Chains A and B, each alone.
Chain A
Amino acid sequence: AQKITQTQPGMFVQEKEAVTLDCTYDTSDPSYGLFWYKQPSSGEMIFLIYQGSYDQQNATEGRYSLNFQKARKSANLVISASQLGDSAMYFCAMREGTQGGSEKLVFGKGTKLTVNP
């Protein structure tokens, strides 16, 4: 069974608008972490944001925020005020296990975001 599901293969947004990229996950482990990475056309993987399963507040990093709904097992990425440079592939990933244990990440298949001028 897929552990990370990104249902949007592609998304389009107008410059300066906000966009939400969906991610749902499946785990029975009470301790886990959720990540979002950005991969521009140049190919490098860039860490954006992290949410721990015990974190009380939704994570935010500049224009990025994570809409964490634990009961629904969703961890959607919200990008505010989109910029042309935000056009890229975005990957959601999950780490299971307690800190110091498994450090493996499982990635979703990604969402390609295109920001239109």
Chain B
Amino acid sequence: DAGITQSPRHKVTETGTPVTLRCHQTENHRYMYWYRQDPGHGLRLIHYSYGVKDTDKGEVSDGYSVSRSKTEDFLLTLESATSSQTSVYFCAISESGPNDEQFFGPGTRLTVL
């Protein structure tokens, strides 16, 4: 299994508070991604990174920011959490090889009250 961890695994917070989710990889893969998964929507890309300090927006980036200061860490921040950001958040990595498969972390369940 690819070495990807996410922390925390579960979090309950209140509307208006800042929240940071961490994704850590031990595979030295270049690409890292943050997705959210909601019933009826599948997985939707929030932000992704194609190298240290290189990030770009995905499909549902409003209300989220990211940072990548080291190859192994990709942080997702909700500056002021809202109830609509209650979701399961997945981090993924890929090396961009011929198969280009993405390896996913275990997910973080975030509840915003």
Contact = CB atoms under 8 A, between A and B. Distances in A.
A107 B44 contact: yes
B104 interface: yes
B71 interface: no
A93 B96 CA distance: 16
B52 interface: no
Contacts of A33: 100
Nearest to B94: A103
B100 A43 contact: no
Contacts of B103: 47
Contacts of A106: 45, 59
A45 B90 contact: yes
Given A50-B101, A91-B42, A103 B107 contact: no
Chain B contact residues: helix, strand, loop or mixed: strand
B100 A50 contact: yes
Interface residues of B, number: 27
B84 interface: no
Contact of A43 (B33, B92, B101, B106): B106
A103 B40 contact: no
Interface residues of A, number: 23
A4 B42 CA distance: 10
B100 A104 contact: no
Interface in B52-97: 58-59, 88, 90, 92, 94, 96
Nearest to A9: B40
A109 B41 CA distance: 5
A100 interface: yes
Interface in A85-112: 91, 93, 95, 99-100, 103-110
Nearest to B38: A109
A99 B41 contact: no
Contacts of A105: 33, 43, 45, 102
Contacts of B59: 106
Interface of A: 4, 33, 35, 37, 43-47, 50, 91, 93, 95, 99-100, 103-110
